[in-house]
Chains A and B, each alone.
Chain A
């Protein structure tokens, strides 16, 4: 069973760091002179960056008070061994390969067919005939029928 507080603490730290980066970047934007101070492009990003960091501090402290300082080994073990996390990582990898690796590097139809074939295979939707039929049918729907219906151009090969 995953201990929620450890993850909350990590997320709190991430919020604080991200807010700080936003604040620093906002200060590097121009027009911070006296007469244009409130109109400066970085004015609102600075406020929001500071707000995110402050809220992140409260969030992290809250997690810490609830016991987030303990049991890191158990938390990492759960992260590594939980079957749902493993399944998630594989699904995420398939989505990333499709969107970042295939779309734009091969025709959209073929990229989508590879995606559908891989993910339906991983999810074991049925025998090979069903797998093939559903993969091709879904790809025809997404990559051929809909784009034609809405007259939209598809991602081209770069």
Chain B
């Protein structure tokens, strides 16, 4: 174990924190990002991923820390405020807040909207801080281990990511796997790295391959715009939040629930591609099982709100680990952070801590700062939540669509990127309509290149002998995880297969 590398990021933390705190431009960017995130997260139809994907193409002109700070703050802010919509309208502002509404909405209908929102923001704040703390502890260890991995292991990590994301990101593993394989195929388009052969190079632009940012904007942005605007139905708001504060007494009372939820969230976050949507349900379920008042869950239990919100904010930390260590995103928003890191010239992967000492500590500090900015923003904005929620979607979403066009254009300054954004938007819309999760597809697009290169290199090195895959203990362990994942999901899927329905 290279302890010097493990210590490096921990030692860098105080210095980095000091630098960040005396940088007014960065502080302003984080504050602005937090407020933007709070507003975007509250509006149904504009998720954290969508807001980040619209902006990632634009921020590349800003200094590195300002750009990253802005994106991270939007992420943290949106994660925290998605719960407000779930509580007041019973529609999650972000998919990650779905579990929050199970108890939050009944609380609002009982006239306890302020209590629910205060609990939601307090848990989000604690979840973000604790989640990032755990990340800072774990990430250097995993990064040092990752440095020892060879081509087989890298390929297996990518394959496990795609398989697990496919299995866990949606309700049906089959749909998740289809989406993931589709993403892998999209990643194959363009110049391959070993021979320089243009795959599927039907046009000059396709020789270059699909840019990641337009694909993200299309899948998460345009598809969402179409999805929301095709419905006419307005929504009803139950209750009003009034001024809220971060309730430290509640956090103390719920400490056990909180820590358990964050541990689950970080654990799930580490699994590539799965992210917040799965973590909030897993933590909610554990909180219910561990509670003495199981019957109150679903009827307005504050523990349910705390578990769900601590988990969706805590996942960000876990999701950073595969993102920074392997370049494989742990969730949708971290996929965009990876894209931003590439835009700024960083290469997320096993060498990141060696190439960019202190970057991990810097990102963790930015997350902490964003958590504070979000909490402060929530306190200031809370009396206006009702007004923000009432913002007309018919005005905001078309502007988001034209912003998406601008963001796609900014990715490479070609009209092909705009066309591919629209293409991915339509594809994303169709798949969402059929209940497909989009995160596995994004993961497939992102890891396709890594998986392709490492598999072919490993096979060539070992003269096509697949059995060499099981000769190292690490790859054997990874293979075991892969088989357990696939086997478990196939079993669950088979037992839940639909029965034939007559006459419809």
Contact = CB atoms under 8 A, between A and B. Distances in A.
B402 A116 contact: yes
Interface stretch (B192-200, B235-243, B280-288, B322-330): B192-200
A129 interface: no
Contacts, number: 178
B403 interface: yes
A144 to B, nearest CB: 11
Contacts of B402: 98, 112, 115-116, 138-139, 142-143
Contact of A38 (B61, B62, B460): B460
Contact of A120 (B177, B197, B398): B398
A8 B499 CA distance: 15
B293 interface: no
A104 B192 CA distance: 30
A66 B503 CA distance: 11
A22 B106 CA distance: 50
A141 B456 CA distance: 47
Contacts of A73: none
Contact of A103 (B200, B418, B455, B456): B418
Contacts of A67: 500-504
Given A39-B195, A59-B178, A99-B419, A150 B61 contact: yes
A17 B402 CA distance: 33
Contacts of B230: 84-85, 87-88, 91
B184 A48 contact: yes
B395 interface: yes
A151 B18 CA distance: 31
A26 B394 CA distance: 44
B56 to A, nearest CB: 12
Contact of A55 (B177, B197, B504): B177
Nearest to A75: B504
Interface string A19-56: 00010011001110000011101111100110110011
B392 A103 contact: no
B40 interface: no
B199 A42 contact: yes
Interface stretch (B4-12, B249-257, B362-370, B408-416): B408-416
Q: In this complex, which of B174, B226, B401, B502 has the most chain A Cβ atoms within 10 angstroms of its Cβ?
A: B401
B145 interface: no
Given A15-B178, A103-B415, A104-B415, A71 B194 contact: no
Given A4-B434, A155-B409, A99 B398 contact: no
Q: In this complex, which of A44, A67, A98, A123 has the most chain B Cβ atoms within 10 angstroms of its Cβ?
A: A44
Which 10 pairs show the lowest CB-CB distances between chains A and B?
A: A38-B459, A41-B197, A88-B230, A123-B394, A44-B452, A66-B498, A67-B501, A119-B398, A45-B188, A150-B61
Interface of A: 3-5, 7-8, 11, 15, 18, 22, 25-26, 29-31, 37-39, 41-45, 48-49, 51-52, 55-56, 58-59, 62, 65-67, 70-71, 83-85, 87-88, 91-92, 95-96, 98-100, 103-104, 112, 115-116, 119-120, 123-125, 134, 138-139, 141-143, 146-147, 150-155
